[in-house]
Amino acid sequence: MSRDIWNPRVYGRYADERSRPFFDLVARIAARSPRRVVDAGCGTGELTATLAERWPEAEVHGFDSSPAMLAGALSGAFSGIPATGGLSFSVEDVIRWSPREPVDVIVSNAVLQWVPGHRDLLPRWVEALAPGGWLAFQVPGNFGAPSHALVHELCRTTWRDRLADLVRPAPVGEPAEYHDLLAGAGCRVDAWETTYLHVLTGEETVLRWITGSFLRPMLDRLSPEEGDDFLHDCSDVLARAYPRGPHGTLFPFRRIFVVAQKMTEK
């Protein structure tokens, strides 16, 4: 498999599977007529555009730290969305983002696992909400799965001289932790987990899935030649853990969801 670093094409290989948690998350937001909606870490912007379709009167803004991911959105790829409130995008960092006015809905889809201080960030986002506003996010909860544990084992052994320091504890919490954190910040909280059983077709499917996400820090560290060798090693261990069956490769993927509504009074 050739070395592919983070870009829209790589991440979009399994667009349907990756977008499903977004729609399951947003379905639990009961905001009726929000004025301002923000998609924090919006990626390519396609899912942000669906927020504008759901709330056409709202000002919907998506931001991401990657200009490459946002290239299509910034060029007006979604100008045909019938949103009277407006749909806009910008390049911004999740940690530094701060709205000028209170926001009615903040959505963050599969982003906070990349933010080491996101537990401190969440109360700040609650403060940015208007009374009765909504904060909704989902993060992967599969860091103990073979797809991650086997790669970490390679980093600790075969690739220890180059990658051992990248083996770290799971970057996200459990649903109960987020519940208590946001309840303490003055929210009514709905937190849950779902394990999707994705059926992936083609060759090296699990490797291709994690190349666009989990493997990014490793591949960023390695030279192109080293990256190819590392991917070959990953392919070997993942093929044994996720054998291809007659109907495709079964890939269980656990995700953690949180939807919190800011109460008008604590």
DSSP 69-111: HHHHHHTTTTTTS--SS-EEEEE--TTT---SS-EEEEEEES-
For the chain, what is the domain count? 1
Structural domain contains residue 26: yes
Range of the domain at 249: 8-262
Q: Is residue 22 part of a domain?
A: yes
| 47 part of a folded domain | yes
Model confidence pLDDT, tens digit, residues 236-265: 999 999 999 999 999 999 999 999 999 986
Give the model's confidence band at 17: pLDDT under 50 very low, under 70 low, under 90 confident, else very high: confident
Question: Do the domain assignments include residue 183?
Answer: yes
Asked if the structure places residue 23 within a domain, the reply is yes
Q: Is 33 exposed, middle or buried (0-12, 13-18, 19+ CB in 10 A)?
A: exposed
What per-residue confidence (pLDDT) applies to 1? 40
In what side-by-side order are the strands of the sheet with 59-64? 87-91, 59-64, 36-40, 103-109, 129-140, 249-262, 187-200
pTM of the model: 0.90
Which of these, 25, 85, 88, lies nearest to 55 by C-alpha position?
A: 85
What stretch of H or E contains 59?
strand 59-64
257 lies in some domain? yes
Helices marked H in 169-223? 175-184, 205-211, 216-221
Residue 138 has pLDDT above 70, yes or no: yes
**Terminal CA-CA length for the chain:** 53
Residue 1 placed within a domain: no
Count the neighbouring beta carbons within 10 Å of the beta carbon of residue 160.
12
Query: What tokens appear for 202 in the block?
Result: 């083609």
pLDDT band at 119 (very low <50, low <70, confident <90, very high): very high
58 is a domain residue: yes
Does residue 79 carry a pLDDT above 50?
yes
CATH assignment of the domain containing 154: 3.40.50.150
CA atoms within 13 A on the CB side of 264: 0
Separation of alpha carbons 207 and 199, rounded Å = 14
With H, G, I as helix, E, B as strand and everything else as coil, classify residue 181.
helix
Sequence-distant (6+) residues with CB within 8 A of 114 are: 41, 171
